[in-house]
Amino acid sequence: MAEAQRIDGKAAAARIIETVKAGTKALTEKTGLVPGLAVVIVGEDPASQVYVGSKAKMASECGFKSIKHELPPETSEETLLKIVGDLNADPKVHGILVQLPLPKHIDETKVIQTIDPDKDVDGFHLINVGRLSTGDTAAAFVPCTPAGSMLLIREVLGDDLSGKTAVIVGRSNIVGKPMAQLLLAANATVTIAHSRTKDLPAVCRGADILVAAVGRPEMLTGDYVKDGAVVIDVGINRIEAPEKGLKEDGTPKTRLVGDVNYAEAATNAAAITPVPGGVGPMTIAMLMANTLRSACRAAG
């Protein structure tokens, strides 16, 4: 087969961001309301810090009020719940995002369920999970990574996925399960596979649409990909890249790879997202879109 189409998530995300900027300008001019996004991070995980920094920066670029709470790793659950409660009560805040994972001594579920569902721009609150799984996508905030992945799938295959088989590898609450709901809503026939699935490569080779969200660098080799499949790689893994030389501290430089071996998969697939530049930028763009949506609702 010819080399696969490279699905440009960076360009798609840039288009969404332009729409969000224009929508924000119009909302603020008409009503005086400025969308507000609060991001909260507990601890010093370097990857999480990078993600949260990018989210806060993009919020400012969109014309939002951007609030960042950076809390030390020993922050108590009580303190975090109080901060979330204050953000719930603040009329200038329309979106609240608590970066996951949280330190072990904090009950993640409790924190997420404390966020006002109408400010839950991550779409993790049970109310929003319920809305999505009952098909009420008009009311639900949809989690950003699956929402962004779905837009990329739509760019290639259109809105109606009737007759298509979709396999999602990974069953997380953040990606795998909501992704399944979105694909189902678009009429695809959906399988969620995971680490206990028997003969995973064979299951994946049955997929017209293959979504990889396992968090294992380049796990899905060419052997997992059917000819003509659309492959969405949600993974963002940092691996050592000795070929790039050494850092100042003498350790090897690193590079980002997905959960899919791009070079191998691209020889079979019809279309595939790269890492970086695929799903990653879409996640941030959808967060901005969700926040603007929340602010528009608040404006009435």
- 196 annotated to bind ligand: no
Q: What is the phi/psi pair of residue 196, to 5°?
A: -95, 5
Q: Which two tokens stand for residue 69?
A: 């709470």
- As measured in angstroms, the least distance from the Cβ of 290 to ligand GUN is 11
Are the C-beta atoms of 68 and 60 separated by less than 8 Å?
no
Cβ proximity to ligand GUN: between 200 and 292 the closer is 292
Applying CB under 6 A, among 128, 145, 149, 261 the residue interacting with ligand GUN is 145
Judged by beta carbon, residue 98 or residue 207, the one nearer ligand GUN is 98
Which residue, 102 or 225, is less far from ligand GUN as judged by CB?
102
C-beta of 74: minimal distance to ligand GUN in Å?
A: 20
Tokens of 175: 């990606």
| Residue numbers 163-182 binding ligand GUN by CB under 6 A | 174
Q: How far is the CB of 146 from ligand GUN (least distance, A)?
A: 9
Tell the residue number behind the tokens 């798609």, with chain if given: 12
Strand partners, 39: 68, 97
Q: How far is the CB of 247 from ligand GUN (least distance, A)?
A: 25
- In the complex, residue closest to ligand GUN by CB: 100
- List the structure tokens of 140: 């639900």
Interacting positions 84-123 with ligand GUN (CB under 6 A)? 97-100, 122
DSSP symbols for 95-153: EEEE-SSPPTTS-HHHHHHHS-GGG-TT--SHHHHHHHHTT-TTTPPPPHHHHHHHHHH
Smallest gap from residue 31 Cβ to ligand GUN (A): 28
Considering only residues 122 through 141, tell me which ones interact with ligand GUN, judged by CB under 6 A. Answer: 122
Distance CA 54, CA 180 (A): 27
**Pick from 160, 156, 220, 146: nearest CA to 189:** 160
Determine whether the annotation assigns residue 171 to a binding site: yes
Nearest alpha-carbon partner for 233 in 275, 197, 186: 275
Q: Is 195 annotated as a binding-site member?
A: no
273-292: which residues touch ligand GUN (CB under 6 A)? 283
Catalytic machinery residues: 55, 99, 122
Using CB under 6 A, pick the residue from 4, 7, 41, 144 that binds ligand GUN. 144
CA dist., res. 214 & res. 169, Å (int)? 6
The binding site for ligand GUN (CB under 6 A) comprises 97-100, 122, 144-145, 174, 283
Annotated binding site: 170-172, 236
Annotated binding site for NADP(+): 170-172, 236
